[in-house]
Structure 1
Amino acid sequence: MGFIAEGNTLNWDDAQKHVAYIKEHGIIQFLHIYNNNKDRMNDQFKWGDEVEYILVRKDKETGETKLSLRSHEILDILLIQEKKDPNNCEFLWRPEYGRFMVEGTPGKPYVGLGRQLLSIEDSLVKRRQEVVKYLKQDEHILTFAAYPRMGTKNFTNPPGETRGKVAESQFLPDTVINPHFRFSTLTANIRQRRGKNVSINIPMFRDTNTPAYLDHQTYVSPSKSATDPYNQPYNIYMDAMGFGMGNCCLQTTFQLSNIEEARSVYDQLAVLSPLFLSLTASSSIFKGYLSDIDVRWTVISQSVDDRTDEELGVKPLNQSKMVINKSRYDSIDSYISRGSSLRSEYNDLNLVYDKDIYKQLIDGGIDELLAKHYAHLFIRDPLVIYSDKITIDDAKNADHFENIQSTNWQTVRFKPPPPHSDIGWRVEFRPMEVQLTDFENAAFIVFVSIILKAISDLKLNFYIPISKVDENMKTAHTRNSINVGKFYFRKSLNGSSPNTGNVENEYELMTINEIFNGKGNDDFVGLIRIIKDYITSCKFDDETNTLLSKYLSFISKRASGELLTMSSWTRKFVDSHPDYLHDSVVSQKIQDDLIQASVDIVEGRRKEPQLLGDF
C-alpha cells in the first residue's frame, strides 16, 4: 500500500496548506538520496514478492459467503514475532486497504537465482498456512483479485451501514476500510480534493437477457457534467476507493547493481506490463455483475482518481496549475534510461510535468530524463500528511519524497535507496493480478525474475513508442484479450535501436501467443524460447531446471489459450451455473458456489484441468 507511518493525519482542508512545502522538501530529500547513491555500484541482485490475500467467512445457517472484516485482528497476531525479532522473521505481514485484506512478503529478500528459485512456491504455501492458523472454523483465505459481490447488500461479515462519513459511498460501508488512520484519511482526502465521490464506470457484459439499465443505482450529479455517470446503458457504476484498493495483486521488486541498470530495466518492464496484465487476468465480476473487462486495473485507477474538474479539462484552469491526462494509478508516461537503445521518438507522449520542480531537479544536478520523470510524479499532491512529521531533517529522512512517490501507483516504480540504508536502486513490477493458487503465483514470480535478469544480461530491447504501451494497456483490459487481443511488440528484441529510420517499422501487432510462444519460425521465436535459452546458459542444477521447465510450460500453455485465465474460467463457471439467467447478474448463490469451488481447488479437493492442466 505504500508509505505507512504512525502519527496524526490531517484532513484535506488542513493538509493542503502544507502541499507546496511537502513537494519542495520531497525533492530536496530525493536530491540528498541521489547524490549519496548515484555512483553506487555492484549491489547484489536481491528481490522479493508481495502477495495480497482476502478473508471470507461462510455463514453456517444461511450458507452465504461474505467478506470477513477481521484481517486487522489476525495481523496483530502475525506481527508479534516481527516485533520481538524483526531481523529473523520468515515472513513479513502488512496491512492493506481493506479490513478483509492482508499482505505477505518473504522475511528476507531472495538473493540471486539458481536454487533460490526452488523456495518460492514453498514460501507462498507456508505464508498461506501461517494465516490459516488464526482463522475461525468458517473462514478461508483466498488469493482473489476482486471480490465478486463487493458493494452489494450486506456483503460483509459483520454487515455495516453505507453512506459513512469517510467514503460517503452508497454501496460500501466505512467498516470495509482498514482501521489504520492512513487508509481512512486517504479515502476522505481523495474525495475532498476531487470535490465529490470518485466515479468508477466499467462496461457490463451484454448477455442475451441483460437489460440496458440493469445497474440503476447510478449517481446523478446536479450539474450533470461530462465527468459524472448519467443514465449510461450497460454500465457498472461504483463510487468509492474501496472498490479498487480492495482488489488484490501480485508484485515483485528487484534490486539492481546500479542506477543505470535499474533505469534500463524500468523501461523494459514498462513495455511488458500490459502483456502480464493480460496473462494474469483474474477479475471479471464487479458489484455482482459480469463485466466486459477481464482485469482490475482501470477500476483501481478510477477509484483513486483525485483530479479536479479543472485538472480533467472539464472546466477552465483557475485553482489548478495544469490539465492532467491520467489518474495517479496508471501506466507510466516516460522512459528514463540513458542507454543507447532509447530513441527520443519512443517518448512520444506530451509529458505533463511541474516546471518549477523540474528546474529544482536540474539545478540539483539531475539529468533531463530523470528530472522530467520526477517532475511528472510531483504534479500530484500529497494526500496523507502527518501533523507531527512536517518539519523533518531532509538529509536523514525521505518521508516527504515517499509521500508522493508511493502514491503514484504506476505499472512500474523506480525506487531510490532509502536514506542511510544498505538497500540499492530498485524496480517494482506492479501490473500482475494475483492468481488463485500458490503454484500459479510462484510461476509468475519466477518467470518475471528470470526475464528481468535476461533483460540485463542479454541486453534485450523491448522499446516501442510509449503511446503504443498505453494502447496495449487498453487491449489488456478487454474480455479474453489473451486469445483475441493484438498487442504492439518489437519485431527484433536483440541489440540497440537504430538511430535512423521510422520507428513504426520496428514493431507490429502480435497476439499473446505469438509474443510468448513465437511465430513458428526463426524470425520471431518468442519470449519463452529466449528464456529457455537463457536458463540453459545459467547452468542451473537438474532439480532447478525441472521446476523451471514446469513453470515455463504452464505459462506457455496459458499464453497459447490451452489453459484459461482465472477471468475466463470464472465466466465459464457463471455461465454454466443452474441459477444464472444470462442477465449478467452474479447472485449470492452463484458467488457462494464460485468461492467454494475456488477453496476446493486451492485445498486440492477439486481438479480444474481447464485452469491448471495437469500442474
Structure 2
Amino acid sequence: MGLLSQGSPLDWEESRKYADHIRKHGIIQFLNIYNKVKERQKDVLKWGDEVEYMLVELDDKDEKVRLVLNGEHVLDTLQEKGEKINPNHPTLWRPEYGSYMIEGTPGQPYGGNMSEFNTVESNMRKRRQEASSVLNPNETLCTITAFPRLGCPGFTQPEFRPNPHKNGNSRSLFFPDEAINRHPRFGTLTRNICRRRGEKVVINVPIFRDERTAAPFVETFPEDDGEAARAVLPDHIYMDAMGFGMGNCCLQVTFQACSINEARYLYDQLAVFCPIVMALSAASPFYRGYVSDIDCRWGVISASVDDRTQEERGLKPLKNSKYRIFKSRYDSIDSYLSCCGEKYNDIDLTIDEEIYKQLLSAGIDKLLAQHIAHLFIRDPLIVFEEKIHLDDENESDHFENIQSTNWQTMRFKPPPPNSEIGWRVEFRPMEVQLTDFENAAYVVFVVLLTRVFLSYKLDFLIPLSKVDENMKMAQKRNAVKEGMFYFRKDIFKGCSQVLDGAASAQNGLESDGGNEEYTLMSIDTIINGKEGVFQGLIPILNWYLENMEVDVDTRCTILNYLKLIKKRASGELMTMAKWMREFVAKHPEYKQDSVITDKINYDLLKKCDRIAKGEEQCPELFGNPVNRVE
C-alpha cells in the first residue's frame, strides 16, 4: 500500500500548504539517491510477490458471508509470532486499505536460481495456513479480488452503518468508515481525496443486462443529499468511496534489476503485458451486490482514488488548478523509460516544466526527467506533521509521498537511501486468484517472461496509446476469449539470439492499417501462438526451459503452471470471472435480474473456500488435478 509513515496527519487545508515544499524536497531526495546509485551495476536479480487477503466470516446459521473488521489484530498476532521474534521468518505481513484485509509476502526475496520457482506455491500456502491459524472457527482467509456484496447492508462483522454526512472520511452511502484500516494514512487518504476533488469520488460500472434486469436500471438512494443523483448513470452500478477500489485484492510482483538501465528496460517491456495478464487473470465481475458487465477491477479502483478537480478533468476552464490531467492517479503508465521506448511515447504527457528543467540541468536524461516531472504534477495527499522537515541526504519520505500515490500499472522504484536494495520495478495489474496454485502460476509466468526478455533482448514495444486501448479491452466481459489486443509482430528484431521458427512465424501477417510493427491478436494467439501470425509466449518459454539446467521437480512444477496459463488463454479453462458468473447464473435463487442475494453470495464464497483449501476440485478452473508442490 506504499509509504506507511507514523505520526499526526494534517487535514487537507493544512496539507496543501506544504505541497510545494514536499515536491521541492522530494526532487532533491530523488536526485540525491540517483547520484549515489546511478552507476550501480551487478545487483543480483531478485524478486518477490505480494498477495492480498480478505478476512471472511461464514455464517452457516443465517447463510450469510461478512467481511471481518479484525485485520489489525490478525496482523499484530502474525507479526508477533513471526518477524518480531525471527528476522528470517519465511513470511512477512503488512496492513492494507480495508480493516478486513492483510497482505502477505515471502520473508526474503527469491533469487535467480530456477529451483526457487519450486518454492513459490509452498510459501503462499504457508502464508494461508499461518493467517488461518489465528482466525476464529467460523472465519476464513479468502483470496478473491472483489467481495460481491461490498457496500450492501450488513456486509461487515461487526455491522456498522455508513456515515454519508460531512464528518465522515468517505461520506459514503454504502461503505462505513469502520471498514477502513485504522492506520492514520488510510482514513486521511480517503478524506483528502474527496476534499481535493471537491466532491465524493464517482464510480459507475455498467450493469450486466440479463433477461429480467430492470430496463432502464436506475437506483435511488434515500439518504442521498443530491450528490449521488447527479453522479449516477442509467444502467450502471453506482459506488462512491475509495473502499470500493482500494478495498479489493490483487497480486503483484516486484523485481530487482542489476542496474538502472535493466530496470528501465523491464519497466517498458512489462508495461505492454499489463493488459494481457490482467485479462488472463480476470476475477472481479460483481460489485455492490450486482452482476456487472466488466471482468476486472482496474477502472473501479482508478475512479475510487480520482482526486482531480473538475478543472483538471476538463469539465471547467482552468482557473484554480494548474494542469489539465488526463488520467486518475491510479491508471496505466504514460511514458516508456528506455531509449528503445522513446519513439513509442505517443501519449500527451502533462509535466511540471520547472521540475523537468531542474532534473535536466542536474544531469537526468530526458526520458527519466519527464517521467518524474509527470508524477510530480500531483499533490501529496497525506502530510504528517512530524515528517515535514527531513534530512534530504538520508531520507526519501517526500519523494515516496508522491511516488507511492501514483498507482500505475508499472512502478519504477529507485533504491531507498543508504540501502543494499537495487533499482526495482513493480508489476501491478494482476487480479488475485482463488488458490495458491493459481497465484503461483501467474507469478512464475511473469517472472519467466522477464528471464526471457533479458536472455534474448526481446522487444515487445508498441505505441503506448495502443497499450491504453488494450487496457480498456482487457476489462471487458470475457475479454480473454472475445477481445483483440494490439501486439508486436516481430519481437526478435535486434535481439542477441533468434529462436527456432521465429522468422517463419512472421510470414502471412495482416497489417493494422499498413503498420509493419504490430497488429490485433487474440490472447490465445499471443500466449499459445498461431502459425503464420505469432510464435506464442508459451512456446518461447518452453524453448527457454529446454535450454536451461532445470531439475526434474522444478521443471514439472513450471510446466504445470504454464499449462494453466495456456488453457486459460485458449478458453479450455475458465477465468475466475467467468467461473463466478456461471456459478451465479446456475444458482437456484438467481432470478436473471443481475442481483446477487445474501444466499447466492454465501453459497459462492462457501464453495470458493472449499476449493481454496483443497477440499473440493474445480476442473473448470484447473482442469484435472495437478501435481502440487508439497
What is the letter of the counterpart of residue 282 of structure 2?
A: A
Could you say which residue in structure 2 is the equivalent of 1:419? Answer: 417
Q: Deviations over 1:482-532 (max 9, x none)?
A: 0000000001111349xxx999320000000000000034x5210111111
Secondary structure (helix, strand or coil) at the match of 1:342 reads helix
Could you say which residue in structure 2 is the equivalent of 1:125? Answer: 125
Secondary structure (helix, strand or coil) at the match of 1:295 reads coil
CA distance in 1, matches of 2:137, 2:220: 36
Q: Aligned residues: percent identity?
A: 52
Unaligned residue ranges in structure 1 (runs of 5+): none
Q: Does structure 1 retain, via aligned residues, the 8 Å contact 2:433–2:576? A: yes
Secondary structure (helix, strand or coil) at the match of 2:103 reads strand
Does residue 589 of the first structure (1) align with residue 599 of the second (2)? Answer: yes
Could you say which residue in structure 2 is the equivalent of 1:602? Answer: 612
Does residue 399 of the first structure (1) align with residue 397 of the second (2)? Answer: yes
Could you say which residue in structure 2 is the equivalent of 1:378? Answer: 376
Secondary structure (helix, strand or coil) at the match of 2:276 reads helix
Q: Deviations over 1:161-215 (max 9, x none)?
A: 2125111101011110001111000000001101111000110100011013445
Could you say which residue in structure 2 is the equivalent of 1:454? Answer: 452
Secondary structure (helix, strand or coil) at the match of 2:431 reads coil
Secondary structure (helix, strand or coil) at the match of 1:453 reads helix
Question: TM-score under structure 1 normalisation?
Answer: 0.96
Note the 1:502-581 alignment, pairs <5 A: 504-521=515-532, 523-581=533-591
Does residue 337 of the first structure (1) align with residue 338 of the second (2)? Answer: yes
Could you say which residue in structure 2 is the equivalent of 1:255? Answer: 256
CA distance in 1, matches of 2:113, 2:548: 9
Secondary structure (helix, strand or coil) at the match of 1:97 reads coil
What is the letter of the counterpart of residue 336 of structure 2?
A: Y
CA distance in 2, matches of 1:496, 1:609: 42
Does residue 171 of the first structure (1) align with residue 174 of the second (2)? Answer: yes
What is the letter of the counterpart of residue 158 of structure 2?
A: P
CA distance in 2, matches of 1:456, 1:131: 36
User: Is the deviation greater in 524-533 or in 480-489?
Assistant: 524-533
CA distance in 2, matches of 1:190, 1:113: 43
Q: Deviations over 1:127-182 (max 9, x none)?
A: 00000110101001010100000011111111102125111101011110001111
CA distance in 2, matches of 1:174, 1:512: 40
Note the 1:55-70 alignment, pairs <5 A: 55-70=55-70
Could you say which residue in structure 1 is the equivalent of 2:502? Answer: none
Secondary structure (helix, strand or coil) at the match of 1:504 reads coil
Could you say which residue in structure 2 is the equivalent of 1:146? Answer: 146
Could you say which residue in structure 2 is the equivalent of 1:236? Answer: 237
Q: Does structure 2 retain, via aligned residues, the 8 Å contact 1:212–1:233? A: no
Question: TM-score under structure 2 normalisation?
Answer: 0.94
Secondary structure (helix, strand or coil) at the match of 2:385 reads coil
Q: Deviations over 1:369-399 (max 9, x none)?
A: 0000010111111111110111111010000
Could you say which residue in structure 1 is the equivalent of 2:443? Answer: 445
Q: Does structure 2 retain, via aligned residues, the 8 Å contact 1:413–1:428? A: yes
What is the letter of the counterpart of residue 204 of structure 1?
A: I
Could you say which residue in structure 1 is the equivalent of 2:365? Answer: 367
Q: Does structure 2 retain, via aligned residues, the 8 Å contact 1:460–1:495? A: yes
TM-fit CA distance, 1:220: 7.5
Q: Deviations over 1:330-379 (max 9, x none)?
A: 000000102xx3352x1001111111111121121100000000101111
Secondary structure (helix, strand or coil) at the match of 2:238 reads strand
Secondary structure (helix, strand or coil) at the match of 2:181 reads coil
User: Per the alignment, do residues 596 and 83 of structure 1 end up closer, same or farther by CA in structure 2, a change over 3 Å counting?
Assistant: closer
TM-fit CA distance, 1:11: 0.7
Note the 1:82-231 alignment, pairs <5 A: 84-85=84-85, 87-163=87-163, 165-217=168-220, 228-230=230-232
Q: Does structure 2 retain, via aligned residues, the 8 Å contact 1:81–1:89? A: no
Secondary structure (helix, strand or coil) at the match of 2:387 reads coil
Secondary structure (helix, strand or coil) at the match of 1:61 reads coil
Secondary structure (helix, strand or coil) at the match of 1:505 reads coil
What is the letter of the counterpart of residue 186 of structure 2?
A: F
What is the number of equivalent residue pairs in this alignment? 605
CA distance in 2, matches of 1:199, 1:597: 32
Match of 2:468 among 447, 467, 470: 470
Q: Does structure 2 retain, via aligned residues, the 8 Å contact 1:454–1:460? A: yes
User: Per the alignment, do residues 383 and 343 of structure 1 end up closer, same or farther by CA in structure 2, a change over 3 Å counting?
Assistant: closer
Note the 1:257-406 alignment, pairs <5 A: 257-338=258-339, 341-344=340-343, 346-406=344-404
Could you say which residue in structure 1 is the equivalent of 2:503? Answer: none
TM-fit CA distance, 1:450: 0.9
TM-fit CA distance, 1:222: 5.9
What is the letter of the counterpart of residue 23 of structure 1?
A: R
CA distance in 1, matches of 2:25, 2:294: 41
User: Is the deviation greater in 503-512 or in 135-144?
Assistant: 503-512
TM-fit CA distance, 1:217: 3.3
CA distance in 2, matches of 1:149, 1:275: 27
